[in-house]
Amino acid sequence: MIKILIAEDQSMVLGALSALLNLEPDLEVVASASDGKQALALAKELTVDIVLTDIEMPHMTGIELAQALQNSEHSAKVMILTTFARSGYLRRAMDSGVKGYLLKDAPSDSLAQAVRKIHQGKVIVAPELITQAWEDTDPLTDKERKVLRLALEGKSTEQIATEIFLSAGTVRNYLSEASSKLGANNRIEAARIAKQNGWL
């Protein structure tokens, strides 16, 4: 039996995925979480073979969840199921040890097949993303990505500095560096460009 943990912040999608996977005789959804932080705690507590996660969730994204599991040397394989066909996301996901990247508009029977293949050690990626992903390079550092994400939430330089334990001057430098790399006139434009490319 392949044991699956699902992380998805939309409860209707979460319910549908659980029901779909539990129909399969060799698959069992052992737990579900509405954000990455909760999923990480559950993965450490339970026996889990596959973590099926969305990307954009509160508190911790699916990519950050994959990174955290990789850093803690957790044995579960991470599979992303998302609506975002952005090459930047795929590239960052693969760098974080993700073994599967499928789009939510894929046929439903392909999900169970992908889970089985990933459990066997294969890597499954939505074919339409592969070529594009290796053409676009993410220019941002992790710190630049973090400050841009907080700026996009409407936080001021001082609020960002407090939240990530840096000085306001350092935060300004990161924002300015990110804006210049992306050819943006200000932090909001920079965040928007980064988000469109899947780099946030």
Yes or no: say if 100 and 124 are a contact pair by the CB < 8 Å rule: yes
Residues 6 or more apart whose CB falls under 8 angstroms from that of 95 comprise: none
Q: How many CB atoms lie within 10 A of CB 92?
A: 25
pLDDT confidence band for 9 (50 / 70 / 90): very high
pLDDT confidence band for 10 (50 / 70 / 90): very high
Yes or no: say if 164 and 177 are a contact pair by the CB < 8 Å rule: no
Per the model's pLDDT, the better-predicted residue between 53 and 139 turns out to be 53
How far apart are alpha carbons 22 and 35 in whole angstroms? 21
List the one residue out of 122, 189, 169, 120 whose CA is nearest residue 197. Answer: 189
CATH topology of domain 2-133: Rossmann fold (3.40.50)
Measured CA to CA in angstroms, residue 8 lies from 15, 168, 179 at distances of 9, 34, 31
List 94's β-bridge partners, or say none: none
pLDDT at 131: 58
Residue 172, classified by CB atoms within 10 Å of its CB into exposed (0-12), middle (13-18) or buried (19+), is middle
15-29, 75-89, 115-129: which is most confident: 15-29
CATH topology of domain 142-196: Arc Repressor Mutant, subunit A (1.10.10)
pLDDT digits (tens, 9 = 90+) for 98-152: 999 998 888 878 899 999 999 999 999 987 676 555 556 778 999 999 999 999 9
Residue 65, classified by CB atoms within 10 Å of its CB into exposed (0-12), middle (13-18) or buried (19+), is buried
Tell me the percentage of the chain whose pLDDT exceeds 90: 70
Pairing type for strands 2-7 and 50-53 reads parallel
Sheet holding 50-53, edge to edge: 27-33, 2-7, 50-53, 77-82, 100-103, 124-125
**Phi, psi (degrees; rounded to nearest 5) at 81:** -125, 115
Domain spans in the chain, listed from the N-terminal domain onward:
2-133, 142-196
Span 84-92, average pLDDT: 77
pLDDT digits (tens, 9 = 90+) for 148-175: 999 999 999 999 999 999 999 999 999 9
Structure tokens at 164: 């990530």
List the one residue out of 70, 200, 67 whose CA is nearest residue 138. Answer: 200
pLDDT, the chain, mean: 90
pLDDT of 23 strictly over 60: yes
Per the model's pLDDT, the better-predicted residue between 83 and 86 turns out to be 83
Say how many CA atoms lie within 13 Å of 60 toward its Cβ: 18
